[in-house]
Structures are given as structure tokens and as C-alpha cells.
Amino acid sequence: MPIGPQPRGAQGTAGHPYSALNLRLALASFGLVFLVALAAALFALGHVVLGAVAVALAAVTVVDIVVIQLRRRQRKRLDRQRHGLFE
């Protein structure tokens, strides 16, 4: 998926985008907090392999948050209106 606001020929319009970026950001942030807490708990309990898996998933979540922020910034450049959580 391109990092821009919306690929050409996609099912949405500028007024009604096909991706709820703010909602995706909120869910990804929650996932990051959960995975960091889970990794800390797993390391504290001595489950090193599972803790490493949780850290790897947290790293993927960070990359997802960066991509979402880049798409939100691109959308803001093209469309100056404020967007709610579900748009």
C-alpha cells in the first residue's frame, strides 16, 4: 500500500477516505503499550523466547505507527480540515 493519502482508483474520495487513519493510530498505540507490558512481564517471569517475540511484534507495531503518521501528514497537506477518530 502506498504511503500517500490514497491511491488512484481506490474506493474512497477525498471527502470519504477508505482508511480510518486516526482509528488505526489509536489501535496501534494500544497494541504497542500492551506488547511492551507483555514483554516486560514475560522477561520478568523468565520466558525469554516469548518476551523476544513480544519485542519483535512491538517493533512491527512501531513501524506501523510510523507509516500511519506519514499517511496522516500527507493527508493533512492535501486536505486542511480536521478529521475525527473514524475518518
The more confidently predicted of residues 75 and 42 is 42
In this model, does residue 26 exceed pLDDT 60? yes
- State how far the Cα of 8 lies from the Cα of 65, in Å rounded to an integer: 23
Asked, for residue 13, whether it belongs to a domain, the answer is: no
The pLDDT assigned to 20 comes to: 80
pLDDT tens digits along 40-57: 999 999 999 999 999 999
pTM beyond 0.85: the answer is no
Asked, for residue 86, whether it belongs to a domain, the answer is: no
Q: Assign 45 to helix, strand or coil.
A: coil
Instruction: Identify the domain containing residue 35 by its residue range.
Output: 21-77
The more confidently predicted of residues 70 and 83 is 70
Asked, for residue 59, whether it belongs to a domain, the answer is: yes
Q: Domain count of the chain?
A: 1
- State how far the Cα of 70 lies from the Cα of 75, in Å rounded to an integer: 9
